[in-house]
Structures are given as structure tokens and as C-alpha cells.
Structure 1
Amino acid sequence: MRTMVGGVATYRIGDGGASVLYLPGAGLVGLDFLNLTQLSGATHLLYDRGGTGWSAPVALPRSAAEVATELREVAGDGRHFLVGHSMGAVYARRFAQLFPASVAGMLLLDPGHEDLFAHLPAEAAALNDQMKPDPAQLPDLTAEQRAAGKQAWAKILGSWPSSVRDELADHHVEHWRTGLLEAANLESEVYDELRSGGPVPDVPVIVLSAGAGNPAWQSFGSPELIRQALDGIRELHAGIAASSTHGSHRVIEGATHNFMHIEHPDEVRDALHDLIASKG
């Protein structure tokens, strides 16, 4: 099932129809989106960015242009529908800036936004800073923490085939720092790349917002600040959708940022079906 393309681990599922490429958020890998590939009538390409998952090691973090160029080499010719989650959605938009002829449409799952902290209350930026640990300062997990982590991941991935689930759970626990390392330049460099990167092609876009946001926020901010942050994020998501002639914004109530596609797979698959059926 896993093949290597120039050091990048890929997983191609299906044959024929629309080409769908999945860009995981930081800390996730291609196989975390395996449940979405049940949508028929398409060829689904899951992959692990360089330095993540089962791809060859590379220095992290990377520029969005590096990530986009790597995906272009993996994806090959043709027009593709991009499914980008969180930071992966930022990379998807950068890919669209650099390779507009290769993009048929985009499904963005609770995407990051380059103007996030200019749009939200100042307290939200302080909240974000509190939530960002320094990977180098964090201690290694204990044996008990690793065991608990594997159990938690096995529950999250409960509908995955057991062989895939066990491998994924082990990987996430043993490589938990990777997502932190990959996202280290999101606000300092990647957002600037996107902001100054030129236009995104006018292709169909569906943006899904996680109605419950990030549960980790609850430990750092007041309910009122969390509500303001969620409202502001939804406004930015609606703006991304409105920038497309065929754009749509949907809020999935109860969905959390990290796992909306696992918690509400039917809604996400329905959105992907609608995107493919659009005028892309």
C-alpha cells in the first residue's frame, strides 16, 4: 500500500475519476485521512510530507514553497482537488498560488489564516503564545505516558483497519515532537509567504469550520475570549470561501479542530463529494 516517490511516502487508493490530494495538518500524516478515501469515483492520494510520517527525514520547519513543490512532484500532471487540514490548508493555498493550473478545487478543513491575529482580540494572540511549547524544552515521554498515548490514539482511530491503526498509534506517540517542529515557522514565515504569494485561482472552494474549535483553549482562556476567537476564525473562513466565485462555508457543530474529519466523516465526505461535483 505504501510506495516511495523520491523519498516521499505515498498511498494511492482508487482508480480513475477525480484526483484528490490530502494535505495533513501539522502532527498528522497521510493515513490519518484514510477514512475519507471511502468516497468512490475518485483516486485518492495520501502522502507524508518530507520529514514527517514514513517519508525521508528533512530539516524542519520548511517553507510553504518547498512543501508545495514537493507535492507537485508527487502528484504529477493533471488537475487535482486539494483537501487541506489546518496548516495543510495553508500549504494547499500556497500550492494553488504556485501551480494554479494544477488545482481543480479545494476543501479546507478548519484552515489556518495569515491574518488571524490581526483579526482577533489582542488577548487571543497572548493565548496562542501560552499554548506554544518549545519542543526542545519538553521532556521525553515516560513509559506510562507512551502507553496511555497509544491507547488514546487507538481509540481515536477505532474505525481504521487494525494493522494500520496500531502502526499509526505507535508512530504518533514515538514522533510527537514532529508536528511542533513543522509548525514552528507558521506564524513567522509561512503566513508571510501566503500573504505576499499572489492570487489563488478562482476554483471551487469549500471551507469547513470546527464548531467546537480547539478543546485545549479551554485551559488557557475565558469562555468569552474563546467565543470571540471562534467567531473571528469563522469570519476569516467565510472570507476564504467568499474569495471564490463558487465558494461555500460550512460550520460543523461539535467538531474539534484536530479531528473533525474523524468525528464527522460523513459531513466531510459530503463536502468532498459536492466539491468534485462542482464546476471544477
Structure 2
Amino acid sequence: METLGTADGGPAVVFLPGGGLVGRDYWNVHREVAKLTTSVIYDRGGTGDGSPAELPRTSTEVTDELRVLLRDAAIEGPYVLVGHSLGGLYARHYAIRFPGEVAGLLLLDPAHEDYNARMPQELRERWEGFDAAEAAAAFENLPDELVRLYRGLFAQELADWPAEVREPLIDYHVSPHGLKAGLQEASNVEELYAEVRAAGPLPDVPLVILSSTKVDPFKTIVSQGIPETLLQEEIDAKFRLYTDFANSVPGGEVRPVEAGHVTIHLRGEQAVRDAIADLLISIQPTADGEEAARGTA
């Protein structure tokens, strides 16, 4: 866990990485948010620089871990949680379990328990045969050409980052451990969905969802053989799902971002920063001392 910035700007912002990503992947937006308030990047156990942990884990284990780490670091809540993909599911669960500790939510292409059900049937059928555990085992001996391909993609996306941040991050992402961790962590995703569904409704807190509208190179690699028209149908269905979800919370909002799922915080950096700034403004105390944020009093 790394913390930057000052507490003077309002609630701390905590980044929860997507599956297969780590806290350092959000270095760009982490640095920008630190100009506004305290910014925290977090590596879950078993990933990145997180504590050793056997994967997969339950969402309860993950959210308990994050809560302890924040308290041990003396980072006071309530927090603005920024969750990407699988991290978005964990962020929601944290808010449901500990509503008094969450001031707002920003979800970047979040995992959602109704995602597959809302997708085109043809796409669901293509996904049915995927075995995450089997795929994770295959990463023990990746072909050199695939390693070079992934290294090249990350190098392209992070080209403007300082070498001391970029190079160790790329090395992690093309290592057998880094590649396997993302698949292992998500291998119990159906159990995670059931866990969050059973936890109850989301509390009434400010919510912004950023929905990617493009197919980035990472999506292209894992979508070999899927027609572009079907990938666009997925993007459209995803946006409808997020819109319905946002509408279930007073003041919830969805914003399209011209980026892909993996690169939403990179190619959509300004959109992420703007959404966080808007959330921070919306939850500032009013003139009479009451919280403007719903549910954070």
C-alpha cells in the first residue's frame, strides 16, 4: 500500500485494482489524485506487493484485509473507493459491509453479477468453455512470442512513465506469477458474485461508473475469432447494464470513456481524474457543517 498527497483535500481516495493488475498500474491517476487529497494504491494479498496469500479468496477476506491495512496505516475514513473490474466488485462489497466508511464510489468497467446474463447469447456460449484454473496452469510455460507480445503492449501503454516505475511493472505482468495471479484470483468469480448479491443493497452514496467504449489491444488478444460486431454488442450491453445499476442508486451516473477495459485508467486518465474531482466536490461539507454526501453523515 502506498499513500501520497494530503488529508486537507477531503476524503482519502483508495484504488482497488482490476484482476491481473496491481496498485502500481494506477500510478498515473494516483499521482494526479494526490494533488487533490490523500491517494492510496493497494495490492491485494497474493498479487503485486501484497502479502502472500493463497488464491482465490473470498470477497469478505479481501475487504477485511483492506479495512485492516487502512486502519494500520492510520488513513481515516470515510473513503472514496475507486474499483476497476474485479476491484469494482470488491469496492461495492466494502461499501455494503461498511457503509459508514465509504463517502463515494467510482467504478471503472466494474465486474457485476448480472454481466453474463445481459450479454448476447452467442457471446455467452463462447465463454462457457473457459476454465480459469486450466488457463492459469498454462502460464507456467508461456511461449516466448506471447511474452514478447504482452511486454510490447504494456511498453506501448506505459511509454511516458518513468523507467523506474514502468520496467518493474512490465516485468511483473509478463512473469508467470503475475500472469497466473490474475486468473487464479478470478477463478471463483461466480462465488464472488453470489457473495456480493447476498450481502444486500448498495448504500446511498454518490456513485459514478465509467464504461469503456473501445476494444483495446488487450481485448483483441483474448477475443481472437470473435467478430467485431459481437464485441460491439458486448460494449452496448455493458453500458445498458451499468445504466440500470446506476439508476438503482439516487444520483448514480454512468459516463462513457473512449478506452478499452484494461486501459480505461490509462487512455481515459482525464475522465478518471474528473470523476474523482466531481465526487470529492459532491461530498464536501455544506456551509452549516452537514455532509453534502448522501449517507456519510
Query: TM-score, normalization: structure 2?
Result: 0.85
Alpha-carbon offset, residue 118 of structure 1: 2.1
Is contact 1:215–1:256 with CA below 8 Å preserved after alignment? no
Higher-strand-fraction structure? 1
Number of equivalenced pairs: 269
- Which stretches in structure 2 are left out of the alignment for 5+ residues? 284-292
Structure 2 letter corresponding to 1:70: E
Measured in 2, the distance between the counterparts of 1:228 and 1:143 equals 33
Aligned to 2:198: 196
**CA distances 1:220-266 after superposition (whole Å, capped 9, x unpaired):** 4233432332221111111221122121111113x100111101211
Mapping for residues 1-280 of structure 1, pairs under 5 Å: 10-16=1-7, 17=9, 18-37=11-30, 38-39=32-33, 40-76=35-71, 77-130=76-129, 133=132, 134=134, 135-143=136-144, 145-174=146-175, 175-186=178-189, 188-213=190-215, 214-216=219-221, 218-253=223-258, 255-279=259-283, 280=293
Instruction: Please provide the CA RMSD for this pair.
Output: 1.8
Measured in 2, the distance between the counterparts of 1:53 and 1:206 equals 27
- Which stretches in structure 1 are left out of the alignment for 5+ residues? 1-9
Measured in 1, the distance between the counterparts of 2:160 and 2:131 equals 31
Q: Give SS of 2:12's match.
A: strand
For the structure 1 residues 151 and 62, does the alpha-carbon distance in structure 2 shift closer, same or farther, using more than 3 Å as the test? Answer: same
Q: Give SS of 2:201's match.
A: coil
Measured in 2, the distance between the counterparts of 1:144 and 1:168 equals 19
Structure 1 letter corresponding to 2:279: L
Measured in 1, the distance between the counterparts of 2:147 and 2:172 equals 11
Measured in 1, the distance between the counterparts of 2:213 and 2:150 equals 25
Query: TM-score, normalization: structure 1?
Result: 0.90
Structure 1 letter corresponding to 2:227: S
Alpha-carbon offset, residue 117 of structure 1: 2.1
Is contact 1:130–1:220 with CA below 8 Å preserved after alignment? no
The percentage of counterpart residues that share the same residue type is 39
Alpha-carbon offset, residue 121 of structure 1: 2.7
Alpha-carbon offset, residue 83 of structure 1: 0.4
For the structure 1 residues 231 and 143, does the alpha-carbon distance in structure 2 shift closer, same or farther, using more than 3 Å as the test? Answer: closer
Alpha-carbon offset, residue 144 of structure 1: 5.1
Measured in 2, the distance between the counterparts of 1:249 and 1:23 equals 19
Greater shift in the superposed pair: 150-159 or 189-198: 150-159
Is contact 1:85–1:110 with CA below 8 Å preserved after alignment? yes
For the structure 1 residues 176 and 106, does the alpha-carbon distance in structure 2 shift closer, same or farther, using more than 3 Å as the test? Answer: same
